Structure 1
Amino acid sequence: MLQKKKYQKKSSKIIINKKAYYNYFIEKVFQSGLVLEGWEIKSIRSGKVNISESYIINDRNEMYLCNCLIEPLQMSSNRFSCDPTRKKKLLLHKNEIDFLSLKKKNTGYTMVSLSLFWKKSWCKLEFGLAKGKTAQDKRINLKKREWEQEKLKILKKTKETY
């Protein structure tokens, strides 16, 4: 009997900002759409995007993604100018914008981009409301991670002996 092949979904994540998880405590995660131009979508599809230094600002009750580097393709037309670091508008609901701007203004939070991903045919941004880590916090996290690795090694050795 013939069975249909199950197609595995490819990872819809385009890029992940690992530096953000190292430098910040992520309190809450949000998703939003981006207003992009055609050449930017083509560059994102080919993987020429960098969000490691990007952050989100509030300007006149609208949210913008800044410092997101999208390199233009060499094949794209030269009829228009391609600004790789232009501010990209985020598509959020008004109540989300109000909540985020209030948190950022009053309590010292910042908003950092965590990842870019595809949702159907739309490019979405996942960003987090975050507080910065101190050097001591980073050392504590490093020690915890090393201890977890050591525990796994010890457990593996004990299983091999039995």
Structure 2
Amino acid sequence: MKKKSKIPSSTIGLNKKSRFDYFLGDRFEAGIALQGWEVKSLRAGKLQLNDTYVLMKDNEAWLLGAIITPLPTASTHIHPESQRTRKLLLHRSELTKLFEIVERKGNSLVPTAMYWKKGYIKLEFAAATGKKDYDKRDTEKKRDWDREKERLFKH
């Protein structure tokens, strides 16, 4: 019988599809402006990061497409919007660096993970360039070959 560890994992959610769909470059970390019900839902692990991206607009960074499902115990006088646009909290120097990255052709900002850090919720995102279909097939072939190599060397 396995015992649950008393220390919970700091990871809230991952975007595993991002590594398959994009070539990931520099990684960044940002805080997020959240409402109270969203923090409670994130503690319960109610997060979907698939098909999300970071938008740079009006000298600010915004998280679009993240779905935080409200808990059924949410207050009756609050009408939670699960897929609202959330502001990312970054320093001015980080924002200017991100604007330079986004202005280059073919680059976008893709969230890769959301996690707890010193009691705060942080979002990790990366500068990304989209993969073509043949790039995705090459990645899949390489991954299969590496797995097969491991099996052969194990025996």
Range into which the TM-score falls when normalised by the shorter chain: over 0.9
C-alpha offsets along residues 3-30 of structure 1, whole Å, 9 cap, x if unaligned?
xxxx875421111100001100001110
**Which of 38, 57, 60 lines up with 1:59 in the alignment?**
57
Within 5 Å, give how 1:112-151 maps onto structure 2. 112-151=110-149
- Give the aligned CA root-mean-square deviation in angstroms: 1.3
Within 5 Å, give how 1:1-162 maps onto structure 2. 9-157=7-155
**1:4 matched residue in structure 2:** none
1:118–1:145 distance in 2 versus 1, CA, 3 Å: same
Question: 1:88, CA displacement in angstroms?
Answer: 0.6
- Count of matched residue pairs: 151
Taking the aligned partners of 1:78 and 1:96, their CA distance within structure 2 comes to 39
2:29 alignment partner AA: Q
Q: Gapped runs of 5+ residues in structure 1?
A: 1-6, 158-162
Taking the aligned partners of 1:31 and 1:98, their CA distance within structure 2 comes to 15
Question: 1:78, CA displacement in angstroms?
Answer: 1.6
Tell me the secondary structure at the aligned position of residue 74 of structure 1. Answer: coil
Question: 1:139, CA displacement in angstroms?
Answer: 0.9
Taking the aligned partners of 2:26 and 2:78, their CA distance within structure 1 comes to 38
Q: TM-score, normalised by structure 2?
A: 0.92
Give runs of ≥4 in structure 1 deviating > 6 Å: none
Taking the aligned partners of 2:133 and 2:154, their CA distance within structure 1 comes to 32
C-alpha offsets along residues 49-75 of structure 1, whole Å, 9 cap, x if unaligned?
111111110111000001110111111
How high is the sequence identity, in percent, across the aligned residues? 38
Taking the aligned partners of 1:78 and 1:9, their CA distance within structure 2 comes to 32
**1:3 matched residue in structure 2:** none
2:60 alignment partner AA: E
Question: 1:108, CA displacement in angstroms?
Answer: 2.2
Q: TM-score, normalised by structure 1?
A: 0.89
1:156 alignment partner AA: K
2:32–2:88: 8 Å Cα contact kept in structure 1? yes
